[in-house]
Structure 1
Amino acid sequence: MHLNPSHVVARLQRVVRDRIRPRLHTPLAEVTIDAWRVDGDGEPVPAARAIEHGDFQPFTVGDTWAPAWGTTWLRVQGQVPASELPVELVLDLGWFDHSVGGHAEGLAYRPDGVAVKALHPRNGWVRLTGPGAAPGVLADDGSFTLYVEAAANPLLLGLPPFIETHLGEKPGLGEPEPYKLVSAGLCAFDPEIFALLRDLEATGDLLPHLSTDEPRYWRVLTAVEAALDAPTVAGARAALADALARPAHATAHRMTAVGHAHIDSAWLWPLRETRRKVARTLTNVLTLMETDPDLIYAMSSAQQFAWVEQDHPELFERVKQRVAEGRIVPVGGMWVESDAVMPGGEALVRQITYGKRYFMDTFGHESEVVWLPDSFGYSGAWPQIARQAGYRWFLTQKISWNDTTTFPHHTFQWEGIDGTRILTHFPPADTYAAEVTSAELKHAVSNFRDKAISSHSLLLFGYGDGGGGPNREMVARAHRFADLEGAARVELGRPEEFFTAAEAELGDAAPVWAGELYLELHRGTLTSQVAMKQGNRRSEALLRTVEYLATVAAVRDGVPYPYKQLDEAWKTVLLHQFHDILPGSSISWVHREARERYRNLEVDLKGLLPVGRGEPGKISGWSVAREGDWAKPAGNILDNGILRVEVDGGGRVSSLVDLRDGRQLNVGDLGVLRLYRDEPVRWDAWDLDRHVLRNETSLPQPTVTATSDAITVTTKTGKSTFIVKYRLREGVAAAAANGAAAGGAAASGAAGTAAAQLDITVDVDWQETEHLLKLSLPVAVRTLRAKYETQFGSIERPTHENTLADEAQYEVCSHRWVHVAEPGLGVGVVNDSTYGCDVRRIPGGTDIRPTLLRAPRFPDPDTDRGRHTFRFAVVAGDETVTRAAADDLNAPWLEALADVEPLLGLEIESGHAVIDWIKLADDRSGDVIARVHETRGGRAVARLTSTFPASIVETDLLERPLEATGDRLILGPFQITTLRLSPIKE
């Protein structure tokens, strides 16, 4: 028999599309539909309200439903006819055959308000009879009533290629109705047709990945042709049976396949919609588990479990049962899948402690794997934080998105800034939403970069981002690939099973990657939606202050510690650190709500300041220097006896001199605002492309004026206004007096001088589109590397572009400070609310350029329009002085703070260390928790001092005891130590 491969493949596609797939569902009977559009603003209502009080009106196929973002409830009723095959209700709400989770979705409920199954473009059925039928739906006489909550979410993901849209907010009245009910009816589902489709997928889709030089190719091709010739379904399956029975090669790559649905807690939909997405996804997973006992589903984010617990208690009980069986696996142990570079160190700790405690209290389960498949880069502090929280493994795949270099490993030991290592895996399929296709398996095998030492990888399958999870087609494919010649071996399993096996296989042979996992993409997320950055930074600072002062009041005066209020505050902060909220890559609706929550949170936290004996005073803002603390300008010159600043007629600092040694600190003009055309190639809010920094837009000549305490430079262009103020503090102030005391931190071994710094305030009325704003601060320091603050330490990055990887870091994350140094001179730049930054060598020195604002068009075309204030300081001194200035600039100013005697302190014997955080223990025992860390990447010896008698025990990050500890601490480079002080009653 002569076989033409291209003819067979084309025939296969046609037969499947036109002759087999249409037979999967055979229409049996019509249904009756009534509809109720949710009143008022169309926001979701509880199922009980819709079912009991909805004004349902007749509705037919072809009718439109709901405006964008609206909700329509459908009441579907019918009589199930007799059938030897399972009967399913099949609905098409008007969706596209793509972007699952990215547009219309539905959730079916019984009349008693219990959710039974979700509907989406690849899962538009509810089974009524046969194996896996929805329980409690069908009456004895064969009748049924189902209520479908239909969500009219607009299709934003499919906009080609992410163009400007105003659908990120609810449209106005008269907005066209986007969806039409295409079909609804009762159908017989044919399991043999379904099985044949999967058989043909497994064989036909395998062909492009087999070599035509091998017998296997031709035998599979022959089997497919014979199946297409067969007159019956049984005959077709029999023709394929031998080809499907051939086992995989002995050396075939192994893949542990885990059902998954990476659900963004907010993105192209608001938080309220995510609550519904999680419930919809879980109903689908639970339905699938009824008919497939091998399916394992991994789900992260304690917040998402908590939403289901609140919104759907019946569904949550089913989830708990599957967790107890080990079939639903809570992974990650974090409150949300947060951004992994911008949250502060303590915030990352709380992501873990809140998440892990929820999982342990609710399910009796502690995850051992950090689960962050989609965050935009990973701080080098993660390995230590993870291991100190009880994790053994780390998972992501996002680094596969690099735009410049290819990461060299998929399974490796990741070494953090302190030297801690954690086994890390990147699934080589390069996705967290696989569909278990032959193409995905082939890519994973060929892409896997550790073949010489490992034969095993992880496959996460199921619709993600907008949810949906695995469907029955995916699971059937996984079974076909369990042991099939020409493909990887696929086994449904748990993440822990994979990591345990990989750990055993690699032994000591795992390669090591040291330092951060920098994502060479999405650099703009360090700047987009500046209110997210400012809200997060200020919330972290306020929590640090309030928890410290509440601890002081509790220990000294017996004032009740506000556990509940602080828990709620932390959960708000942690939720908004999600990796599409804090990075500024969500629709305007999300950020509008977040701005309001941050404002309310600030009010609430200020209200938690303890009142009573030794009251520390009220928070009055973030201005460290008060009236009369600023040096008065003499014309365009500022001089406080320590620094001398000259501002030229163009508003630039032409001279910045350290009067202590006469050294010129700037090289060229300092303080220049630089405006660039910012026109990303693809991901608007996400990406800052290379070409942007080549396209500077000239700004008009500014006006320069001197006031009683500042030199002010005002520039106007178009509708935007930029006001830069230069100020020097008068005399010498106590470095970090405010920051250290307010946060509970102790001195780190060297006192700085807060007057050796030039303070710069930038006020912007931002009315730009597709532009980017930077502040240029060129300093006369020649160095090959700069230091940037990161969680519990700092990281060094190159200031040159010697290699592709060096050049790719043209925009990086800095927390509160950057420091550059050469022998005999150090200069730092501190900020109060920015994260994006670039530091590059220039003739004679180094240009430090924080990024202030962007104006992307998608997904929020009005990003950051309005007024913003940024504060910076250029600080002369070593790294410790810079850190102290950053403490001052970022801590809220407290009146009468000097009257509060520090609760704890560190006496430094050698090196550098701080008490980073002080709070009461989470178990409400009244014990005091102190988080200490080394700050300079060296070694430190310090003695902890306390104003109250206490026994001291070292703990892990979840405050579980490790060993008894004295008051003398020996710390390694960037080491974190958590100490539990139990007061001793006298």
Structure 2
Amino acid sequence: MRVHHRKVKAFFSQTLGTLTDLHKLTDKIKSNIYNTVGELEVTAYNTSEPVPFEQRTSGDRLSLKPGQQWGQLFDCAWFNFKGKIPAEAAGKNVVLLIDLSGEALLVDEQGNPAGILTTGSSIFETSLGDPGKTVVPITPTGQEGAPIDIWADAGNNDLLGAFQNNGTLQFANIATKNEEVEQLYYDYVVLLDLLDQLDERSVRYQKILYALHKTMIELVDFSDERVSKARAHLAPELDRKNGDYGMQVTAIGHSHIDLAWLWPIRETIRKGARTFSHVLRMMERYPDYKFGATQPQLYQWMKMHYPELYGKIKEKVAAGRWELLGGMWIEPDSNAVGGESFIRQFLYGKKFFKEEFGKNINNLIMPDTFGYSAQIPQIMKGCGVEYFVTTKISWDLYNKFPHDTFLWKALDGSEVLAHMPPEGTYNSSAAPRAIKKAEQLYEDKATTEHLLLMYGIGDGGGGPSVDHHEFLKREKNLAGIAPVTQRTVKEFLDDLNKNRHLYESWVGELYLGFHQGTYTSQAKNKWYNRKMEINLRHAEFLSSLDRVIGGTNYPKAQLDELWQETLLYQFHDILPGSSIQRVHKESLERYESMSHEVHTLQTATLERLSGHITTDDIQKPVIAWNTLPWERDTWIQVKDHWQKVHVPSMGYKVVDTAVNETVEQPFTPSSSVLENDMLKIKFDNNGLIISIYDKASDRQLMPDQQANNELAVYADEGDAWDFTPDYKMQKIGSFEMESCETLVDGPLTAVIQKRLFGDSTITQRIQLTQGSKRIDFITFVDWQEREKMLRSSFTFNIRAAESVSEIQFGHVKRKTHTNTSWEDAQYEISAHKWIDISQPDYGIALLNDSKYGHDAAENLLDINLLRSPKWPDPETDKGHHYFTYALFPHQGNHLEGSVIQEAYALNMPLIMAESSARQGKLPSTQSFVAIDVENVILETIKISEDGNSIVLRFYEAYGMSSKATIKTAFAAKNIVETNMLEEKIADLEATDNGITLSFSPFQVKTICMALS
């Protein structure tokens, strides 16, 4: 038959309906890949929690047909699929087609991982790829009557934790697979997707259009002859190559696995096994496939729970097919994690990869974290990591980040090479549309020829599927898109680094204008994280003293376990509060248990240390321990006795509790006035602060007619991640005062206000201490609200263009006005222990013991206390909370006013230890480390990883160059400066005056001193 090509082409080019038909043809081709020839017999053994292979028949037995339910959300079951290969399938490629509305791990006869099943009805975004993995290969040449007997360990949840299809079995069939039709499908889909990216006036567009049209006409049926001819029509266009394109795409298989999110941690362990077993199976089929995965915690779980699978992973790593990525123990939050925690993320993460695989990882992959601290580059460099990769900044709702490849500089000037895959996702489909999008959006394509494409199904695991691999097989050098090479991230980054001198720089934090609600959501998790970081710091310091003074074994294994679990709960969907209720409930239970364990460890250590301290001249001794690197004069109360004590830096003082120091308290509080020798506070009739008067400065701190510390409630119908930037316009009320009591106790004077709102109660003790300007708001909340947010704010007679917020190992300045869209986007900012606004002569800091979300606008400081969005945890923050925030007025700016020291003191009060009268080898007071400048802070003391040295980690806190002399009570010998991983940099010499270190602004330094 003669075809009038010109007429067909002209008609086709102008007919939208025919283009639609081309797209519809994809479904038709796909439906002819598999031919169902029989049904499987399905038996499931249901349990509420996972059981091992050996106990697979211990659950409730169910015989299932398609459409029947097998469990509720997060139920587990061992499925057994049985059948026989029918005559119709003899000699053909036999597969199973199974969809059980959830996920499952296929296992072999010994129960070892052998594959994956994932429901095709997952809520995963299908534009990024088909999440369904429903095909189980059986044999390429089926024998009639051959038995089929497959076991699978299933979870009744889809990739993203959803309960699909009411938890029913969708289908379980025996089928044959036509490989030629499958290859036709991918030939066709790749060219059709490429067509959608091209200019319809281009030669390439018209030629592909013509080939696709001929294919559509050819496929009146799917006989072998027709399929072969259809592929022949497409082959010339698939074979067309690029010239010198000027851009090279590196594609790496990836599966970002959230360690918890819309599913519990126990399911993540199983997700890891499913994903990794599928990766291994795909590697057998696709020789070019290279895969990379982060998070040593995942690998450790595989080692513990799936040792046979772990062994195969190690083989692929050794063969160069599987790349270890990301250096850190997990992919943590960045806004609420402490500086030392970041270092431990690298310490444990890099150590695991080195010991288990012999690999030294020099990249940090954090694709999904909600903004990035300004000090990450310094910590990276200090841990031997040179490259940073993320995609999340592209999610900013308000501003487009100006670079995809750039040099990222920390506060101290440390610099790393950063790349953000320009497609803006770590779940790329790897289709032509993905490559074209990345190429078009790449901000820095003028200065480099390299970009990264991270492809695969992620968040809930799964990894690259057949679709991804078949696309890539056809895209190596396909005319119309940049050529694609499958290779490692290391190879890509090393090539990217060759043009380092051409890239622009970005200094400071990578603020994400999105997900600012995570600074506050799930307040108890954040409270526990802060306490665990502090208590582990104390435990290491005291245990190090115990090792040096008493020769006691350092409890390294126990501390390592506590640290690693603390690091786990810093994952970017646990600590930020963006997981389901079960995740937070289980983590809180573990936090409580860990807190008890570290407290028990600390108590036992203090008891041993007390045995070395001379107390025989003290009538009723207790020992006050100061874990901060400066002397402290502070009030203590022991057994109803008040004393003001002087405790040396990083040391202790024996206190006689028989002494009851007389405290003259000339100020009597009332519901309207609270006063000490430094400040006078006035309240209105509702207990709100209307005046703070600094006596020494003769300064009124607050404007007239302005009520402060209103515990205001706002509508919050967002989710755990976000709340609307115009929330201030949605105020729905505030806690009203029900009663007010007063308190005078030694140096303390306070008012205690009980407030009510809805079904919630707040009891707040507003407290002053003699000799101090700090105003403490000690707060107990019974929070029963839904879709509401609780905040407190203060307005001052201060004019400051910038606020200053503490971050890891330093602080950052942010504008208090909204001149630009970048400033306007920062309607919520993160701060650790303090945030401050100051003018040159005076300022005020807002301190806290567990909060992170703040607003600083002109002369206002605001703190976000609680949120209760309904999703993904409908009872977010419901229950009892205890926290403290404080105002701290001061002379000069935040540095001159000692804000940093006061915030540390709020978070780390003296530790009191019981003692008895004894003669010891240590005096009644002792400083173990003293620093001669106030701007250098000793953050950590621990025993080194090899057990041979004591490690001291310092940082410069003021942002200025400095020399510091450190005196220690330890025998200072064989002193070396190391990086943050305790690897030697240089030898140091001690003098009679101590060890002198030079610091640049905000620099972190680590030294090790050999133990005798």
TM-score clears 0.5? yes
CA RMSD, 1 decimal: 2.4
Matched, 1:941 2:963: yes
Equivalent in the alignment of 2:894: 879
- What residue number does 1:720 align with? 760
Task: Determine whether 1:220 maps to 2:227.
Answer: no
Residue 152 (structure 1) aligned to one of 128, 140, 156: 156
Which residues in structure 2 correspond to 1:302-321 (within 5 Å)?
302-321=296-315
Q: 1:116 aligns with which of 101, 114, 117?
A: 114
Give the whole-Å Cα distance in 2 for the aligned partners of 1:879 and 1:54: 62
Secondary structure, in 3 states, of the residue corresponding to 1:819? strand
Amino acid at match of 1:589: R
Aligned partner of 1:929 in structure 2 is 951
Q: Deviations over 1:303-335 (max 9, x none)?
A: 111111111111110011011112111101111
- Residue type matched to 1:922 in 2? E
Match of 2:23 in 1: 13
Structure 2: distance between partners of 1:139 and 1:454: 55
Q: Secondary structure at the match of 1:367?
A: coil
1:358 aligns to 2:352 (yes or no): yes
Give matches, 1:946-985, under 5 Å: 946-949=968-971, 950-966=973-989, 967-983=995-1011, 985=1012
Contact 1:281 1:469 in 2 (8 A): yes
Q: 1:279 aligns with which of 273, 284, 287?
A: 273
- Of 670-679 and 883-892, the range deviating more from structure 2: 670-679
Conserved 8 A contact 2:46-2:62: no
Instruction: Provide the residue aligned with 1:486 in structure 2.
Output: 480
Q: Which amino acid aligns with 1:759?
A: D
Larger CA deviation: 428-437 vs 80-89: 80-89
Q: How far did residue 619 of structure 1 move?
A: 10
- Give yes or no for the alignment of 1:862 onto 2:875: yes
With over 3 angstroms needed to count, the CA separation of the structure-2 counterparts of 1:948 and 1:376, relative to structure 1, is same
Please list, as runs of the form range in 1=range in 2, the aligned pairs for 1:649-664 lying within 5 A after superposition.
Answer: 649-664=685-700
Deviates more, 1:587-596 or 1:763-772: 763-772
Out of 384, 388, 397, the position equivalent to 2:382 is 388
- Secondary structure of 1:690's aligned partner: coil
Aligned match of 1:795: 812
Q: Letter of the 1:559 partner, please give it.
A: T
Question: Is 2:894–2:900's contact at 8 Å kept on the other side of the alignment?
Answer: yes
Q: CA deviation at 1:968?
A: 1.0
User: Which residue does the alignment assign to 2:992?
Assistant: none
Find the residue that maps to 2:571 and give its secondary structure. Answer: coil
What SS does structure 2 have at the residue aligned with 1:477?
Answer: helix
CA distance in 2, matches of 1:620, 1:928: 19
1:689 matched to which residue of 2? 724
Amino acid at match of 2:532: S
Q: CA deviation at 1:711?
A: 1.1
Question: 69, 74, 85: which one pairs with 2:74?
Answer: 69
- Cα shift readout 1:94-152 (whole Å, capped 9, x = no counterpart): x3xxxxxxxx1111112321110010122112212249xxxxxx999943421112211
Mean alpha-carbon deviation: is it higher for 897-906 or for 75-84? 897-906
Alignment of 1:87-102 (within 5 A): 87-93=94-100, 95=101
Bigger-Rg structure (1/2): 2
Tell me how far 1:258 sits from its aligned partner.
0.6
More deviation, 491-500/138-147: 138-147
Structure 1: stretches of 5+ with no match in the other structure: 96-103, 132-137, 159-166, 168-175, 732-754
**Which of residues 38, 43, 64 is equivalent to 1:34?**
43
In 2, Cα distance between the equivalents of 1:192 and 1:199? Answer: 10
Tell me which residue corresponds to 2:788: 771
Q: Distance in 2 between matches of 1:580 and 1:445?
A: 30
CA distance in structure 2 between the partners assigned to 1:379 and 1:552 by the alignment: 32
Shifted more, 396-405 versus 696-705: the winner is 696-705
Any residues of structure 2 matched to 1:330-341 within 5 Å, and which? Answer: 330-341=324-335
- Give the aligned partner of residue 53 of structure 2: 47
Matching residue within 304, 329, 334 for 2:323: 329
Q: What SS does the aligned partner of 1:607 have? A: helix
* Identity value in percent: 32
> Partners in 1 of 2:708 and 2:232 — Cα distance?
77
Equivalent residues in 2 for 1:491-890 (5 A)?
491-504=485-498, 506-609=499-602, 610=605, 611-614=607-610, 626=637, 628=642, 633-635=668-670, 636-668=672-704, 669=706, 671-680=708-717, 684-699=719-734, 701-702=736-737, 703-708=739-744, 709-731=749-771, 755-841=772-858, 846-877=859-890, 878-880=893-895, 881-890=898-907
Query: Normalized against structure 1, the TM-score is what?
Result: 0.89
| Structure 1 residue 202: Cα displacement | 1.1
Deviation at 1:624, TM superposition (A): 7.9
CA contact (8 A) 2:832 2:852 kept: yes
Partners of 2:174 and 2:477 lie apart in 1 by: 36
User: Amino acid of the residue matched to residue 968 of structure 1?
Assistant: T
Q: Which residue of 1 aligns with 2:928?
A: 903
Residues 809-858 of structure 1 deviation map (CA, whole Å, 9 limit, x = unaligned): 110100001122212213222100100001111xxxx2111110111010
1:54 deviates by: 5.3
Which ranges of structure 2 fall in alignment gaps of 5 or more residues?
121-131, 220-225, 614-621, 628-633, 644-662, 915-922, 990-994
Partners of 2:440 and 2:982 lie apart in 1 by: 44
Give the letter for the 2:70 counterpart: W
1:904 & 1:240 partners in 2: Cα distance?
Answer: 75
For 2:63, the equivalent position in structure 1 comes to: 58
Give the superposition deviation at 1:443.
Answer: 1.5
Residue 674 of structure 1 and its aligned partner are, at CA, apart by 4.1
Contact residue 624 and residue 893 of structure 1 kept, 8 A: no
Q: Is residue 259–residue 268 contact of structure 2 (8 Å, CA) maintained in 1?
A: yes
Take 2:177 and 2:625, find their aligned partners in 1: how far apart are those partners? 67
Distance 2:208 2:280 in 1: 35
Q: 1:525 to 1:620 in 2, by over 3 A?
A: farther
Distance in structure 1 (CA, Å) of the matches to 2:868 and 2:68? 39
Letter matched to residue 580 of structure 2: I
The count of residues paired between Structure 1 and Structure 2 equals 915
In the alignment, which residue of structure 2 is the partner of 1:78?
83
CA shift in 2, pair 1:297/1:650, >3 Å: same
- Kept in 2, the 8 Å contact 1:68–1:154? The answer is no
Q: Secondary structure at the match of 1:826?
A: strand
Q: What is the CA-CA distance between 1:491 and the residue it aligns to?
A: 1.2
Q: Give the distance between the partners of 1:700 and 1:290, measured in 2 at CA.
A: 63
Amino acid at match of 2:525: M
Q: TM-score, normalised by structure 2?
A: 0.87
CA-CA distance at 1:863 after TM superposition: 0.8
Moved more, 669-678 or 235-244: 669-678
Q: CA deviation at 1:800?
A: 0.8
Give, in angstroms, the shift of residue 550 of structure 1: 0.6
Task: Say which SS state the counterpart of residue 673 (structure 1) adopts.
Answer: coil
Cα drift, residue 900 of structure 1 = 6.1
The CA distance in 2 between the partners of 1:690 and 1:917, in whole Å, is 38
Contact 1:638 1:646 in 2 (8 A): yes
The residue type equivalent to 2:945 in the other structure is D
How far does the alpha carbon of each residue in 1:353-385 deviate from its partner, in whole angstroms, 9 at most, with x for none? 111111111111121110100000000000000
List per-residue Cα deviations over 1:54-91 (Å, max 9, x = no partner): 56453333332112221122111233466444322221
CA distance in 2, matches of 1:83, 1:468: 32
Paired residue for 1:241, among 235, 239, 245? 235
Distance 1:502 1:856, change over 3 A: same
CA contact (8 A) 2:977 2:1007 kept: yes
Displacement of 1:424 in angstroms is 0.3
Residue in 2 aligned with 1:298?
292
1:474–1:701: structure 2 CA closer, same or farther, 3 Å change rule?
closer
Counterpart check, 1:129 vs 2:139: yes
